[in-house]
């Protein structure tokens, strides 16, 4: 457990680049209203010469079908900040996958050029029974409206990933995502880790 916590905080603290850029980073599962998750991410990104990027995020649950994410980072993409809103009107139930849409707004800077990106991503996810732990796979089709100076571009990606909760690592959630360029975008691979907390009890702790 100490090793896993050290790994998590090593992802959170050295915010030297931008690990959230254009990622989905979450399934169609919605955290409970009044609950939060604090997380970090590590990302390889194909823009320019590519590189290894790090970022952080905070999730908040608002309703059973609605949650938000605030994200930040600096680095090879000189800086990035943004927010997303995930709406899942159809939950994962029986043979039905969770279905919904995630919208996001990024303000970033590449090579002294400011970039604004508005993203809409239809998504689906499904819990998968595995022998050890809980796995929730997801797919999304991000559509990015990118504004750079006087040039506006529409780009598309395909994202596939999974969230994982290990039974022996309580209250730490892991995720991994592959992003594929479909049109005028970039590809990348990202991993995430997050820990939950709420207003009443603060950060969750393993029961002794």
pLDDT-derived band at 136 (thresholds 50, 70, 90) equals: very high
pTM: 0.79
Reported as a single tens digit per residue, the pLDDT across 67-91 is 999 988 766 666 778 899 999 999 9
Name the least confident of 2-11, 58-67, 147-156: 2-11
Output the pLDDT for position 19.
41
Mean predicted confidence (pLDDT) in 127-137: 88
Distance of CA 38 to the CA centre of its chain: 11
Mean predicted confidence (pLDDT) in 148-160: 89
Name the least confident of 85-94, 120-129, 131-140, 189-198: 189-198
Gap between the Cα atoms of 96 and 93, Å rounded:
5
% residues pLDDT > 70 (the chain):
78
Integer-rounded Cα radius of gyration of the chain: 17
Q: Show the beta-strand stretches assigned E in the chain.
A: 35-45, 51-63, 66-74, 79-90, 98-110, 113-129, 134-140, 143-148, 151-165, 173-183, 188-198, 202-203
- The yes-or-no verdict on residue 115 having pLDDT over 80 is yes
Strand partners, 151: 148
pLDDT-derived band at 51 (thresholds 50, 70, 90) equals: low
Mean pLDDT score across all residues of the chain: 80
Output the pLDDT for position 78.
65
Mean predicted confidence (pLDDT) in 84-110: 92
User: Which of 75, 99, 100, 87 is closest to 21 using CA atoms?
Assistant: 75
pLDDT greater at residue 130 or residue 53 = 130
Domain coordinates in residue numbering, the chain: 1-123
pLDDT greater at residue 188 or residue 39 = 39
Output the pLDDT for position 158.
94
Distance of CA 164 to the CA centre of its chain: 13
């Amino acid at each position: 457990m100490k090793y896993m916590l050290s790994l998590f905080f090593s992802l959170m603290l050295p915010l030297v680049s931008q690990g959230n850029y254009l990622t989905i980073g979450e399934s169609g599962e919605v955290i409970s209203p009044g609950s939060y998750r604090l997380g970090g991410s590590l990302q390889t990104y194909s823009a320019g010469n590519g590189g290894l990027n790090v970022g952080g995020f905070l999730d908040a649950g608002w309703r059973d079908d609605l949650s938000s994410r605030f994200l930040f980072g600096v680095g090879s993409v000189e800086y990035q900040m943004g927010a997303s809103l995930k709406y899942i009107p159809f939950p994962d139930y029986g043979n039905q996958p969770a279905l919904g849409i995630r919208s996001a707004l990024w303000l970033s800077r590449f090579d002294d050029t400011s970039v604004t990106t508005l993203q809409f991503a239809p998504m689906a996810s499904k819990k998968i029974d595995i022998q050890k732990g809980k796995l929730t796979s997801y797919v999304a089709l991000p559509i990015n409206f990118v504004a750079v100076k006087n040039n506006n571009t529409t780009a598309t990606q395909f994202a596939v990933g999974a969230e994982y909760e290990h039974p022996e690592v309580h209250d730490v959630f892991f995720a991994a995502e592959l992003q594929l360029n479909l049109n005028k975008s970039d590809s990348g691979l990202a991993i995430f880790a997050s820990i939950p907390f709420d207003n009443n009890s603060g950060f969750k702790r393993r029961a002794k």
